[in-house]
Amino acid sequence: MSSRTVATIITVLVLLGILALMLRSWRRRSTRDAGLPAGYPSPTEPGRELASAAALYVATTPRDAPLERLAIPGLGFRARGGVSVTEHGVLLELAGSPALFIPAAAVERVTDATWAIDRAVEPGGLLLLGWRLAPSSSAPSSPDPDSTAAPASVDSYFRFSDPADRTAISEAIRSLAPSAPGTAGTRTIGTEESEV
């Protein structure tokens, strides 16, 4: 056997090993996050629409952990879709997943972001929507002793092709919490220390 053939076999084995580890990691993550609720029940009345735009959904991560993807059902993978803001909350309609509703009361912050997981863009090119998971997510679904506790709050990231759409969606979300500190000119709803 030539040295080139041996090198090729070794390379293929290493790549297969890496692929197997990635698959194992994703399965463990999916098991861990399977019990996390995908949004809240939709309101019986849709309510007045404040803004709507097409967007690329990037990822949902635990609060302030932009490199730790959560495999929440319907939010585990990047997808194209739409973001609508009504007087009741935020509606996410992502390709391949049921519509997901986040009520205004669960919205904790909205701000600009530059990177999340494997996506990096120009400064402020992503919209970060911080929201509180439904109360039933208080315990991790996996019995694995190495697993961490389920997050109470998460950050979802979106990329809009038109910056004007990002601004319109951001301002509409901010209008859902007019009593929160800050205005449409600030970067967040509430403060970093918002109570959960």
Burial 90-115 (b: 16+ CB within 10 A, else e): bbbbbeebeebbbbbebbbbbbebee
Q: Among 2.30.29.30, 3.40.50.2300, 3.90.1150.10, 3.90.1010.10, what is the CATH number of 49-175?
A: 2.30.29.30
Q: Per-residue pLDDT tens, the chain, 196 aa: give them.
A: 778 888 888 888 888 888 877 666 656 666 666 667 778 988 888 789 999 999 999 999 999 888 888 888 888 889 999 999 999 999 999 998 899 999 999 999 999 998 888 778 888 889 999 999 987 644 444 334 344 566 788 999 999 999 999 999 999 999 986 543 333 333 344 333 333 3
Burial 54-80 (b: 16+ CB within 10 A, else e): ebbbbbbbbbeebeebbbbbbbbebbe
Say whether 162 sits in a helix, a strand or coil. coil
Give the residue from 150, 188, 184, 190 showing the smallest Cα distance to 167: 184
- Residue 189 phi, psi dihedral angles, 5° rounding: -90, 130
CA distance 38 to 91: 12
